[in-house]
Amino acid sequence: MNHHGTPGLQAFQGDILILDRNARQYRDLLAAALPNARLHAHESPAGPDVAEAASASAIWLASCSLAVDLLARQAPPRWLQTTSAGIEPLFSAGVPQPALVSRAVGVFGQLMAEYALTYMLAWRRQVFAWAGAQRRGDWDGPAPGTLAGLRVLVAGAGEIGQDVARLLAPFGVALRGLARQARPLPGFAQVYGLDALDSAAAWADVFINILPDTPQTRDIYDASFFAALPEGALFINMGRGVAVVEPDLVQALECGHLGAAAIDVCREEPPPAAHPFWRAPRLWLTGHSAGPTLPALLAPVFLENLRRFEAGEPLRGAVDFTRGY
């Protein structure tokens, strides 16, 4: 890892609790940059020494869900850096909020663009129809299409959405965005506000959702939204499951109006065995895998934020609890 962007950390002598299923990997990545720090690595909040380490540590680098589990019985740290972009569990009733929380930022753009691209290509190149033809011993399959000229709308036009747009642009697609308010944003020819959702949908051959979970984004993808999409469109959800009215999505697939859907997130994860997502036609269910947090990418972000924390500077990805993210 290159530590040139985080000068002055060699002298840091504090305690840091690392609470994540990849805790040991984070510890190994951080140790060289923080030779004088006391790094307490734990994969579960239930470990025998976790409470003691948490009490000693003013700084936590932690999975949001594991941190919430620990906060239920532990005083909050001065600063919590989460290993995820989503921080919804911190808004649960009775969870004491740390004075300062920062989300994982700057590490998901390429991963999520690759996810979108995977299913856009699978859809246009008829990958699954060709796999069926192979199994049948049939040389002739459907004619593939191209991404060139497709109208792609990215709902959630912030940092990750702009990365997704930048990485999709070379494929010759037209790109528009959706944000809380209509405004110019890098990478998009036009950005709609949430109040124009259905008219925005009518333009899109591919609709990609990466909006965060806020009161304004719950249940927005409903029957009227799916009806507004052009016939045969592709819907990709790698944002939050609560944005989708799930029976309406299934109905749009079953009646043939929606061409396909790639669904990475659900209201209940995993969905129960009887959930229609397991059997819906032309629906790819991908187990919340679109944007994994890779420790090698997040460790430099944490080190830069630690430098900022020590210097009293604003953190990257600092959470505004009034806004919800």
- Indicate whether 60 and 88 sit together in one domain: yes
* Domain of 80, in residue numbers: 14-107+293-311
Please state, in angstroms and as integers, the Cα–Cα distance from residue 50 to each residue in 23, 113, 172, 209, 318, following that order: 12, 36, 51, 37, 25
> Does residue 49 surpass a pLDDT of 80?
yes
pLDDT at site 320:
83
What's the pLDDT band for 91 if we cut at 50, 70, 90? confident
260/212 same-domain check = yes
Residues 65 and 84 in one domain: yes
At 7 the pLDDT is 59
**Which tens digit of pLDDT belongs to each residue from 282-295?**
999 999 999 988 99
Statement to judge: residues 280 and 301 lie in one domain: no
Return the pLDDT at 276. Answer: 97
Query: Which residue from 30, 297, 216, 289 is spatially nearest to 41, judged by alpha carbons?
Result: 30
Is residue 4 a part of any domain in this protein?
A: no
Q: Is residue 325 part of a domain?
A: no
pLDDT at 86: 80
The confidence score (pLDDT) of residue 280 equals 97
Q: How far is CA 146 from the centre of its chain?
A: 26
Q: Which residues contact 138 (CB under 8 A, 6 or more apart)?
A: none
* pLDDT above 90 for 93: no
- Tell me if 83 is assigned to some domain: yes
Question: Looking at 63-187, which runs of residues are DSSP E strands?
Answer: 79-82, 100-102, 151-155, 174-179
**Together in a domain, 67 and 201:** no
Identify the bridge partners of residue 114 per DSSP, sorted by sequence position.
Answer: none
CATH number at residue 300: 3.40.50.720
Bigger pLDDT: 213 vs 16: 16
CA 3 centroid distance within chain:
26
122 and 81 part of one domain = no
248 and 171 co-located in one domain? yes
Are 279 and 148 found together in one domain?
yes
Quick one: pLDDT at residue 1?
Answer: 43
Residue 199 lies in a domain: yes
> Which tokens hold the place of 194?
């949430």
Mean pLDDT for all residues in the chain: 93
Could you give phi then psi for residue 249, rounded to 5 degrees?
Answer: -65, -45
Position 317 in a domain: no
| Domain count across the chain | 2
Please write the tens of the pLDDT for every residue from 97-136. Answer: 898 999 999 899 999 999 999 999 999 999 989 999 999 9
Choice between 86 and 314, residue whose per-residue pLDDT is larger: 314
Is 318 within the bounds of a domain? no
Average pLDDT, stretch 178-202?
97
pLDDT in tens, 126-172: 998 999 999 999 999 999 999 999 999 999 999 899 999 999 999 99
Res 84: pLDDT? 86
Helix (H, G, I), strand (E, B) or coil at 167: helix
- Give CA separation, 185 vs 166, 176, 188, 190, 191, in Å: 12, 10, 6, 8, 7
**Residue 158 and residue 238 in one domain:** yes
pLDDT on residue 2 = 43
- 9 assigned to some structural domain: no
Percent of the chain with pLDDT strictly greater than 70? 97
Q: What is the pLDDT of residue 284?
A: 97
